[in-house]
Structure 1
């Protein structure tokens, strides 16, 4: 405060009566508003002297032609804000900036959601686009959690306790129980295929046995039931 107003001014304000303090504060406020008006009046000649004649037209054309392309969403948002900031004297209406921002977005969840809702300002449009991108890039609640969801009470059956982590846990194959490991070669439990005692191959019986344990000769595939009926007819003819 001393650096801004000076020590003498603060000491004089401290010894003054309340009415004098209010009068001095109002006088300083009037003086400050006059300085601001004077500086704003000097901006027009400075712009005419140093800026190009079609500067605002160029800035407006840059805003209208702004596209996201292959860039990230936050980069596109930053460029839109930078392009629209210099348009102070004759700014674009908010609904036009919102429409230009929506039209410049690439096809995706953010663009789809923005065309579903009715937004009139660019900042609200930016917030909706950021929320949609965040929801799209981050994982959602697992489907198994909602399988036990009760629509009437809103409770979730089998839901984890409060504070429990919902982050997916990676599989630890090294901690698997040896007895639960199945060999893909022989099909038995207790070993893997690379250390299979049978060499990773299944053992099939070489001959087929009947219900009484006797060896049976495999039936030719070409005969089928017709060959069986012919053999039965020949046996009956001998009888």
Structure 2
């Protein structure tokens, strides 16, 4: 900016300012390129050309130009699309494209909408004029949709629903009733699957822990063989 505004006009001042803004490998290269900076870079143009030759990627101009020609708005915002084109145009300052090409690429890259319609209706002659027309058209369209004159349909619906909410009957909430019915159903199912002791019929314990079973086992262990045979005959007669 200082060079373009004319604050720094001497060649060695411009070179010194440019080198002071460099960093990393570029700064190291500029300071060690020769015995003296003034000898290696007598003018700003010589420094710029050598920087481009050393650090610019191969076919950089072709890559930037190809990307510029294939740039489209797509799903991006209009402001992002404009900024991307301006960045690519700045990268082509050494070999810029004609202004008519800039305008054509911008117009063809716009997605279908109010901005594209307005730009094609006016057919501007410069890139900045085309950008201004597109941005104004999109801004006016969005303002009209949102009710720029004070009428906002969303706010009106919100206010209407807020003021009339007290006069409307409240719908019955059946979620609690459904939850209670499900709980009763679960309790009934649990009652159907209650297990009982096969020895005494109690629901407090099962057959392995039944005290009556343990009592019978103890009695059978202390009985004599004659008693056991008598019990066996009695059971056979009973059957």
| TM-score using structure 2 length | 0.47
> Is the radius of gyration larger for structure 1 or structure 2?
2
